[in-house]
Amino acid sequence: MTIFVTGGAGFIGSNFIFYMLKKYQSYKIVCIDKLTYAGNLSTLEPVMNYSNFRFVKLDICDRKGVYELFEEEQPDIVVNFAAESHVDRSIKNPEIFLQTNIIGTAILMDACRKYGNIRYHQVSTDEVYGDLPLDRTDLFFTENTPIHTSSPYSSSKASADLLVLAYYKTYGLPVTISRCSNNYGPYHFPEKLIPLMIVNALNNKLLPVYGEGINVRDWLYVEDHCKAIDLIIHSGIIGEVYNIGGHNEMKNIDIVKIICKELGKPESLITFVEDRRGHDMRYAIDPTKIYTELGWLPETTFAEGIRKTIQWYLDNQEWWEDIISGEYQNYYKKMYGNLEEV
Ligand code: NAD
Ligand code: TDX
């Protein structure tokens, strides 16, 4: 069995590769990654010498390169994590999101059609459903909730989802889609809420919370997401969409306070900054389908997961220091201006 994992030098893709290599020692995993600002080859160092692992630096929008690799490796399954993934960057510059997230998805599926109707899994997001009001805690996203997006990022992911379903209906490509809530855990790029707050707090820098900090996200430990995708690619029903989430809704401000407490840092580091444009209020997944059909349940509680995550950032300072010392500095200045050190 050969599995192509695209975007495997990023946060969730790398965690998925580690999980799969450990669980299925007879599988070959081929990681395809363009190594954008969000991809780190150093992340994959622990598995780079495995005989059943191969890394290929490749843009999923490079049709010729993609076809050549499919021809050479003849994969059985393709799992597509490759994407531009940060909402704030999509607000500043949407175009690359359309390229990678939509065109890249189409090229991968064209390759799947060309080389033997290969099984394709699309890693999507709960953001395709838009948001829910804060005062309707009885409402959740199900797989039947209409697509209703807010940002260029979520619109590009929704477009890709529609294409995936079209390739199923029109060409009979064997596809599945998963729509997961917010992940956290090791190797999370420090532009995203949880790692940004951990890294800033460790550096005694201010903690920029958008708006009033009352927006709600539904957090899932990354390994639980990987387990769900493993189940879907092996036992999921072709043509189906599966929501993934652990009923762990939290306000941003509460997350930041927990991080301060765990790190022994004062809450006075928290600073409220200008809100994100089009900021979704609340995400909340109903995971009933994946539970009843595939028996998936999250295994890591938030209390346990956030402790493990913080410990990982303490133990792997070199990994994130490398990142924040480079191009990240320019991004940070553009996003947050000159937030003072305390
Ligand atoms: P990430 O930004 O950490 O990683 C993305 C990876 O894709 C990077 O390694 C990058 O180099 C690679 N990449 C980008 N453009 C590419 C291209 N054109 N060709 C090849 N590789 C390319 O993202 P992540 O947080 O790991 O998210 C992975 C997937 O999961 C994305 O599709 C995202 O939409 C989805 N998702 C993420 C979350 C979350 O909370 N992070 C939740 C639900 C769904
Ligand atoms: O500095 C910040 N301050 C802040 O208040 C940042 C970076 C974020 N936030 C808020 C915005 C959101 O309400 O925290 C919340 C989480 O923000 P992000 O970490 O940027 O995640 P989000 O926008 O929710 O999107 C994430 O989950 C769904 C991933 O980045 C997407 O790829 C995934 O699809």
Domains in the chain (CATH in brackets) are 2-185+220-246+285-301+327-336 (3.40.50.720)
Report the distance separating Cα 331 and Cα 337, nearest Å.
9
- With a cut of 80, say whether residue 182 has pLDDT above it: yes
In the block, tokens 């599966």 appear at 242
Residue 226 has φ and ψ, to the nearest 5°, of: -60, -40
Q: Is 126 a catalytic residue?
A: yes
Q: How confident is the model at residue 181 (pLDDT cuts 50, 70, 90)?
A: very high
Rg (CA), the chain: 19
**Residue 73 CB partners (closer than 8 Å, separation 6+):** 2, 4, 28, 30, 54
The pLDDT assigned to 104 comes to 99
In the block, tokens 């033997």 appear at 116
pLDDT digits (tens, 9 = 90+) for 267-312: 999 999 999 999 999 999 999 999 999 999 999 999 999 999 999 9
Q: Is the CB of 189 under 6 A from ligand 1?
A: yes
- With a cut of 90, say whether residue 326 has pLDDT above it: no
The pLDDT assigned to 341 comes to 58
- Return the percentage of the chain with pLDDT > 90, whole number: 98
Report the distance separating Cα 260 and Cα 266, nearest Å.
6
Strand-strand pairing, 2-6 and 77-80: parallel
The pLDDT assigned to 338 comes to 74
The residue-averaged pLDDT of 32-53 equals 98
The pLDDT assigned to 340 comes to 64
Strand-strand pairing, 175-180 and 53-57: unpaired
Q: How many residues does the chain have?
A: 342
Distance from residue 193's CA to the centre of ligand 2 (Å): 5
The pLDDT assigned to 281 comes to 98
The residue-averaged pLDDT of 4-25 equals 98
The pLDDT assigned to 210 comes to 98
**Among positive and negative, which fits the CA dihedral 165, 176, 114, 6?**
positive
The pLDDT assigned to 342 comes to 52
The pLDDT assigned to 288 comes to 98
**Residue 188 CB partners (closer than 8 Å, separation 6+):** 11, 194, 195, 222, 309
CA dihedral of 28, 32, 37, 38, whole degrees rounded to 10: -50
* Alpha-helical runs (H) found in the chain: 11-23, 63-73, 87-92, 95-98, 105-114, 152-171, 193-202, 222-235, 252-263, 288-294, 302-315, 317-324, 328-336
pLDDT digits (tens, 9 = 90+) for 155-164: 999 999 999 9
Average pLDDT score, the chain: 97
Tell me the ligand closest to 215's alpha carbon: 2
The residue-averaged pLDDT of 95-106 equals 98
* Alpha-helical runs (H) found in 115-221: 152-171, 193-202
Q: Is the CB of 331 under 6 A from ligand 2?
A: no
Instruction: Point out the ligand 1 atom lying closest to the alpha carbon of residue 13.
Output: 26
The pLDDT assigned to 339 comes to 76
Q: Is 127 a catalytic residue?
A: yes
Q: Rounded to whole angstroms, what are the CA distances from 174 to 15, 74, 126, 162?
A: 24, 16, 22, 14
Tell me the ligand closest to 9's alpha carbon: 1
Closest residue (by CA) to atom 28 of ligand 1? 81
Per-residue tokens: 280: 């979704």
pLDDT digits (tens, 9 = 90+) for 195-250: 999 999 999 999 999 999 999 999 999 999 999 999 999 999 999 999 999 999 99
Question: Percentage helix, strand, coil, to 5, in the chain?
Answer: 45, 20, 35
Which amino acid is located at 198 in the chain?
I
Q: What is the pTM of this model?
A: 0.98
Q: Is the CB of 85 under 6 A from ligand 2?
A: yes
Q: Among 15, 44, 85, 319, say which to mutate for ligand 1: greatest number of ligand atoms within 8 Å of CB.
A: 85
The pLDDT assigned to 110 comes to 99
